[in-house]
Every structure is written in structure tokens, then in C-alpha cells.
């Protein structure tokens, strides 16, 4: 026999009934008034947007026209798919009827273990919600499978169709609606609709904050402040130019390795992902291991820097940082780290330096960084000439840069259930304030992209893959990564949706020096920022580098916990002897200001 259906709260009242009809009615009146204002403002904003930009910047209309054209050529596939769907529905109805009669029935379909949307126990214990859940999961699976069966689509169109079909399915999840989400429905009845009133207020605040665009708060934006409770590792800005500030961190050991460590973070976000707080700061940990740590803090560019190029980021970013580190320490040779797009720039720069016989960089570590973009993951769906041209036009209209909020939205779409819809439910349906989470504050602290640099990067790397092909040209030099023969450490993450481990692994065949490849648990951020004290996740290692990453994984060794000590063991052997610890400003560079510096605080 099945468990009795639970429909009452702890106090004996029904969990799914109105507690105070009068109060509920008053709140529904407030919801109606706020909704009217919301719709009016939305329509006004949409009119302005449609007059200022392309109606279909992602070119989805033509993409789905192409898809439907191919689908109509194989009507048998669609008929068979619809038949299978109805069969599934009938089976589900039968299972539901059996359960209503008190029989124990196994679910026809269940969410994946990583799907957090259906964690509330009423999704399984209350029959109607279990039926809604399974109906949705069957339909979502049917949509994805039907799309996959259509023949004749070119690979890019297929990937784009599959990606946006999933976005559509995620948006239609019953968890995203008041009357089909048991947690929201219980809260609505319990609070007499007060959650919906608060939720609409949160929605209006976010629309006003985004100046007409929905800017969902993922965390308490007022609680965090860079330099106060974020980016607090003691250090000094010792050099700056128009593109970057260079931070040298205070030593925490009496001696340090002779060879400094210079880090190039991505400029799509602020550098302090590497220095969030005391308990999860890579920078603070690296200084405790005896490294003289320098970090580049990129400027948040505006229209004045619109024509700065990828080559400028190499010259003003990497080369001037190398010169500054030498002045600050008296040491010419350095070890480097490049994170994400900072790693892509570092890869290109290493090829350029190899061509010029410049040997100042003696090792390179890459955090979640790609040099070969042939399997660059879901971000590729945004890269075709029509979309790039629309993006370029928008950047020109904006003053020569891509607004950081647009870039953040793109990345959030790659994990829409976690980074969009979960907050829609929490903030707008449940009417709750977002939790305080330093990582999500950093995620929202996005930066702008100069048009010249960004379009070069998207076309040369994502669209043409010219760096891996040996066709990229910087400062008149055609770049050949096979000339790079210094020691390389490649970090990847098993669940990385931005720099997939398959893509990172391809770099093992591009560089020709000694290469160490490692795969961490978790994703693009948590896979990198995993302090040993947290005792979380795991990592995989393998001294062999077969042609296929699947073969590497099959023969790899798994180790629990953080990979940082494994990397430290690798880098310490390349860092020279120990010398007296260096204090920022004690050599040829003077202190400009305290870390984190003005660039990190720039909005």
C-alpha cells in the first residue's frame, strides 16, 4: 500500500487552503494593482527596445524556420514521436489511477539527481503534483528527443535548436508557476498571498534596477562591498595603466620562492574571484605557501577604450605586468596563471613570445582556459555571423562596448534552472529575499567588453578557431602554439559548462613542452576555487596523455578534496630557491594604493 497523502500542516489545518479569506482578498487586490503597473511598464519598455535594436538579435526566427523545413520532410518521425508521447501519457494515467487505488507504483520518469527543482517532498507524496511533475518531465524529454531525430540540420543549427528547446522546456517547468508548485502554493495559502505581494515588489525593484531590463538579484547586493568583506587579502597596487592595475600581495611567510607568481584573471568579471574571503581565497592560500603573488586587476572599460584590441591586452596587460614584476622584485623570470579568457590571452602571448625568443615566462598554469575552441560547449550557440553582426551593431549603439549585464545574462542562460529560474521562484513567487552568497555577488559584478577586443576574440577563437589552427596574428606575428615548450599545467572541471574539459584537454596536443592535465570535480568556478580546508569535491590525475580524453579519464586516479596541494607540489619545483620575503614597494616600484584598488571597485 502507498503512504497516505499528506495535505495538512503541522497545526492540523489544510496545507492547501486559504487561512484568512479577507486578508487573502486584500492581498490579491494588491497583486492585481501591482500587476497592472508591471504590464504597463513592460509594454512601454518593449516598445522602446524594439525601436532601438533588432527584433530578433539571436536570429531564432530563421533558425526555427530551417528546423521546421527539415522536420516537414520527415513527417513519419513527427507522427511516431507524437504516438510515443501519447503512449507515455496513457501509461502515466494508468499509474496514477493505480496509485489512487492505494497500490504502490514505481514512477514512470524521475528527474535527474542533479535537478534541484523537484526537491520538495510533495512532488512525490501528493498525487496531483507527482502527476504534474511526471507529465512535464515526459514532455520535456519528448521535445528534446524529437528535435534530435530531425535529419539534415547543419551542426550549428542543430546545437542552437537543442539549446533553445531546452531553454523553452525549462521556462515551462511547473516549478515556475504559482498553482503548480506545491511549495509556492502552500506559502501562498499560509501567508494569505503576502508572498505574491512581496514577490511583485521584488520584481518591480529588479526592473527599476535594470532600467527596464529584468536584473534578477541572485544575492543581497547591499551586504557585500569590495575591500570590506570581499577581496580583503592585504596587498598593494604597485603599477597601473589604462587597462589594468597590478597588485602585489603582502607576504605571510618569512621566506618566499625566488620566482614570482603572476596571475591573469578573466576580464569578463572582476579579479577577486581569486580572493573572495579568508576561507576561500586562492590568493591568500598561495601567499601562505611561500609565493610572491601578483594579480592583474583589469579595468572596467567604457567608450574611451572601445578600440583597445586583443593585442593591446597582450601589450598593456601581460607585457607591462612582466616588466613591473621585474622592477618590483628584481627577478626577470616568472611563473604565470591564466584563468578562462585570461588563459586564452596567455596562450596566444606565449606563442608570440616563443616566436620572439622571449623567455621571461618559465611556466604557465591554466584555470578552465581554452586554446582550441572546436568543442567549446553551449556558448557556441551564440556564435554565428548573424548574431555577431547584431552584437556588433548593439555595441556601436551603446558607445563601443558590450554592457556587462548582457554578458552575465548569456552565462546565466547556460545554467538557467540554477541561475535564473531558481531565483524567479525564490524572489518573485515565494517573495523571499535572496541569500547572502559572495560568489553570486561576484557573478553579478560584471564588466563591459570593448568592441574591438571582444569581436576579435569571438571571431578569431569561437568562430574560426584560429589560435588552435595556427592562423591567429598578433603584432604581425602568426602564432604557433607548438613552439611553446615551457612546463604547462592544465586545470579543467568535470561539470564546466563554459570551458568543458573536452575542450581544455585539446591543449595537451597544442603545446609541446612537459604537460600536466588535471580534472577537478564541480564546475567553472567551484572546480577552481576549492580551498583545501573545505574538504569538498575531488580531482583526477593521470601521467599519460592519450589522444582521447575519454581514455585519459578511464585510466585516471581519483583523489578526494582540493587539487590545490597537487598543483603546489608541481609549481614549487619550478619556483627556485627561497629568498627573504618581499614587501610591496621595497624595490623599484612605489605603492600606489591599497588592494583591491580602484579598478576592482569600478562600476
Which residue, among 170, 210, 207, has the nearest Cα to 421 in the 3D structure?
A: 170
Q: For 560, phi and psi rounded to 5 degrees?
A: -70, 155
Contact 465, 231 (CB under 8 A): no
Neighbours of 107 (CB within 10 A): 14
| Alpha-helical runs (H) found in 289-437 | 310-312, 320-329, 341-355, 385-397, 404-413, 416, 422-423
List Cα–Cα distances, 81 to 73, 77, 109, 203, in angstroms.
15, 6, 17, 39
Q: For 237, phi and psi rounded to 5 degrees?
A: -80, 120
Beta-bridge partners for 473: 478
Angle at 520 between CA 370 and CA 421, to 5 degrees: 80
Q: For 191, phi and psi rounded to 5 degrees?
A: -95, 5
Which residue out of 226, 295, 340, 429 is catalytically annotated? 340
Q: How many CA atoms lie within 13 A of 64 on its CB side?
A: 9
Round the CA-based radius of gyration of the chain to a whole number and report it. Answer: 27
Known catalytic residue: 461? Answer: no
Contact 482, 512 (CB under 8 A): yes
How far does CA 493 lie from the centroid of its chain?
12
- Tell the burial category of 238 from Cβ atoms under 10 Å away from its Cβ (0-12, 13-18, 19+): buried
> Whats the size of the chain, residue-wise?
603
Cα distance between residue 106 and residue 26, in whole Å: 43
| Catalytic residue numbers, as ranges | 340
Amino acid at each position: 500500500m502507498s503512504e497516505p497523502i499528506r495535505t495538512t500542516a503541522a497545526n492540523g489545518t489544510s496545507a492547501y487552503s486559504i487561512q484568512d479569506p479577507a486578508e487573502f482578498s486584500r492581498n490579491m487586490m494588491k497583486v492585481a494593482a501591482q500587476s497592472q503597473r508591471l504590464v504597463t511598464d513592460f509594454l512601454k519598455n518593449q516598445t522602446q527596445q524594439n525601436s532601438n535594436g533588432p527584433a530578433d538579435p539571436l536570429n531564432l526566427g530563421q533558425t526555427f524556420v530551417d528546423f521546421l523545413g527539415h522536420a516537414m520532410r520527415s513527417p513519419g518521425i513527427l507522427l511516431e514521436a507524437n504516438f510515443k508521447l501519447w503512449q507515455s501519457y496513457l501509461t502515466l494515467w494508468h499509474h496514477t489511477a493505480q496509485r489512487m487505488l492505494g497500490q504502490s507504483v514505481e514512477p514512470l520518469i524521475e528527474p535527474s539527481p542533479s535537478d534541484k527543482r523537484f526537491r520538495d517532498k510533495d512532488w512525490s507524496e501528493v498525487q496531483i503534483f507527482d502527476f504534474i511533475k511526471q507529465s512535464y518531465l515526459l514532455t520535456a524529454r519528448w521535445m528534446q528527443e524529437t528535435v534530435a531525430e530531425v535529419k539534415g540540420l547543419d551542426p550549428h543549427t542543430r546545437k542552437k535548436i537543442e539549446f533553445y528547446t531546452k531553454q523553452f522546456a525549462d521556462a515551462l517547468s511547473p516549478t515556475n508557476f504559482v498553482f503548480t508548485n506545491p511549495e509556492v502554493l502552500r506559502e501562498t495559502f499560509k501567508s494569505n498571498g503576502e508572498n505574491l505581494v512581496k514577490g511583485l515588489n521584488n520584481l518591480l525593484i529588479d526592473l527599476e534596477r535594470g532600467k527596464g531590463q529584468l536584473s534578477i538579484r541572485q544575492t543581497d547586493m547591499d551586504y557585500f562591498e569590495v575591500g570590506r568583506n570581499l577581496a580583503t587579502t592585504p596587498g598593494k597596487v604597485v603599477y597601473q595603466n589604462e587597462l589594468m592595475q597590478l597588485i602585489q600581495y603582502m607576504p605571510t611567510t618569512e621566506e618566499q620562492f625566488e620566482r614570482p607568481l603572476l596571475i591573469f584573471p578573466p576580464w569578463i568579471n572582476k579579479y577577486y574571484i581569486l580572493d573572495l574571503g579568508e576561507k576561500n581565497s586562492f590568493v591568500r592560500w598561495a601567499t601562505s605557501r611561500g609565493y610572491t603573488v601578483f594579480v592583474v586587476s583589469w579595468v572596467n572599460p567604457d567608450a574611451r577604450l572601445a578600440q583597445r584590441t586583443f593585442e593591446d591586452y597582450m601589450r598593456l596587460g601581460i607585457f607591462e605586468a612582466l616588466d613591473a614584476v621585474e622592477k618590483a622584485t628584481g627577478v626577470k623570470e616568472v611563473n604565470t596563471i591564466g584563468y578562462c579568457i585570461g588563459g586564452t590571452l596567455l596562450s596566444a602571448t606565449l606563442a608570440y613570445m616563443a616566436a620572439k625568443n622571449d623567455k621571461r615566462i618559465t611556466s604557465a598554469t591554466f584555470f578552465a582556459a581554452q586554446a582550441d575552441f572546436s568543442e567549446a560547449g553551449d556558448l557556441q550557440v551564440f556564435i554565428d555571423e548573424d548574431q555577431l553582426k547584431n552584437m556588433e551593431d548593439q555595441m556601436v549603439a551603446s558607445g563601443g562596448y558590450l554592457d556587462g549585464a548582457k554578458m552575465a545574462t548569456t552565462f546565466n542562460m547556460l545554467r538557467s534552472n540554477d541561475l535564473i529560474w531558481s531565483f524567479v521562484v525564490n524572489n518573485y513567487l515565494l517573495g523571499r529575499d535572496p541569500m547572502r552568497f559572495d560568489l553570486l555577488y561576484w557573478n553579478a559584478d560584471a564588466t563591459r567588453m570593448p568592441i574591438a577586443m571582444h569581436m576579435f576574440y569571438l571571431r578569431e577563437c569561437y568562430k574560426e578557431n584560429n589560435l588552435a589552427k595556427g592562423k591567429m596574428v598578433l603584432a604581425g606575428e602568426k602564432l604557433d602554439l607548438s613552439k611553446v615548450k615551457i612546463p604547462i599545467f592544465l586545470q579543467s572541471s568535470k561539470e564546466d559548462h563554459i570551458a568543458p574539459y573536452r575542450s581544455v584537454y585539446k591543449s595537451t596536443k597544442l603545446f609541446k613542452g612537459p604537460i600536466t592535465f588535471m580534472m577537478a570535480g564541480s564546475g567553472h568556478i567551484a572546480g577552481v576555487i576549492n580551498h583545501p580546508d573545505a574538504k569538498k569535491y575531488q580531482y583526477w590525475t593521470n601521467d599519460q596523455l592519450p589522444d582521447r580524453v575519454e581514455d585519459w579519464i578511464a585510466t585516471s586516479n581519483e583523489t578526494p578534496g582540493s587539487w590545490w596541494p597537487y598543483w603546489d607540489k608541481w609549481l614549487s619545483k619550478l619556483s627556485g630557491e627561497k629568498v627573504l620575503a618581499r614587501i610591496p614597494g621595497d624595490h623599484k616600484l612605489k605603492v600606489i594604493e591599497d588592494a583591491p584598488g580602484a579598478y576592482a571597485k569600478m562600476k
